[in-house]
Each structure stands twice: as structure tokens, then as C-alpha cells.
Amino acid sequence: AQTVTQSQPEMSVQEAETVTLSCTYDTSESDYYLFWYKQPPSRQMILVIRQEAYKQQNATENRFSVNFQKAAKSFSLKISDSQLGDAAMYFCAYMRGNEKLTFGTGTRLTIIP
């Protein structure tokens, strides 16, 4: 079974600084998708960024970028120029094809003003 591991239960970063959240996963598949979701205090799940495994280029979305290392099964999220609104739980997730999402345990990110 696929597993997703987030080894950092909590992280904090100074406003305007950069922070990297770690994620590793285990799969025997070669074709899959990886995601980072944000869950703010409202509890609404928000898609931050998505990566297709067949793409070598790392995905970027404005201040958010990933470091996808397929061989190492690593998928870290970098948040640049951190803002107060970035404070949330961040979940890494794996999905094969059109199957279900498997979530990591989450990392609580605190932004220090």
C-alpha cells in the first residue's frame, strides 16, 4: 500500500522568509500524482500545487514550488516570501491515476510576524 510521510509535525517561519516542508512517499508505481493541500483554520481543503510523476520539471505556483525527487520518492514544498495567510496545516498527498488520495499526517505551519 502507498504511504505518505511528513516528518515535521510543526514548522515556523518568520514573515517574508522561506520555509520548506518535507514529504516522502512509498510506491511501486511509476505513474502517479503528488499534491500539497493547505487546510486553514476554516478547515476548507485548498489545493496548493500538483505534480505529475512523469514530468521532470518541478511545479511552481507563484510563491509555492516543489522539489520533486522521483528516485528518492521525495516531494518537498517551498514557500517563499511567507505571509501571515500561509499559516495552516499542510498535507502532502499521493494519488495513482483516478484512484483515491492518500494523505500524509500533516505539518502545522506558523508564521511569525
Partner 1 sequence: GAVVSQHPSRVICKSGTSVKIECRSLDFQATTMFWYRQFPKQSLMLMATSNEGSKATYEQGVEKDKFLINHASLTLSTLTVTSAHPEDSSFYICSARGGREWGGELFFGEGSRLTVL
> Coil, strand or helix: which one is 12?
strand
C-alpha dihedral, 54 to 38 to 84 to 43, nearest 10°? 170
Smaller CB separation from partner 1, 14 or 53: 53
Could you tell me which stretch among 11-19, 22-30, 43-51, 65-73 binds partner 1 (CB under 8 A)?
43-51
Smaller CB separation from partner 1, 16 or 47: 47
Q: In angstroms, what is the minimal distance from the CB of 1 to partner 1?
A: 10
Q: How many angstroms separate the CA atoms of 72 and 51, rounded?
A: 15
> Does residue number 43 form part of the binding site for partner 1 (CB under 8 A)?
yes
The residues, any chain, with a CB within 8 Å of residue 32's CB and separated by 6 or more, are 53, 94, 95, 96, 97
Burial of 14 from C-beta contacts in 10 A (0-12 / 13-18 / 19+): exposed
Give the end-to-end CA distance of the chain in Å, rounded to a whole number. Answer: 41
Smaller CB separation from partner 1, 85 or 97: 97
Residue among 13, 32, 79, 104 that touches partner 1 (CB under 8 A): 104
> Does residue number 73 form part of the binding site for partner 1 (CB under 8 A)?
no
Q: In angstroms, what is the minimal distance from the CB of 98 to partner 1?
A: 6
Q: Which residue ranges make up the site for partner 1 (CB under 8 A)?
A: 42-47, 50, 91, 95, 98, 100-106
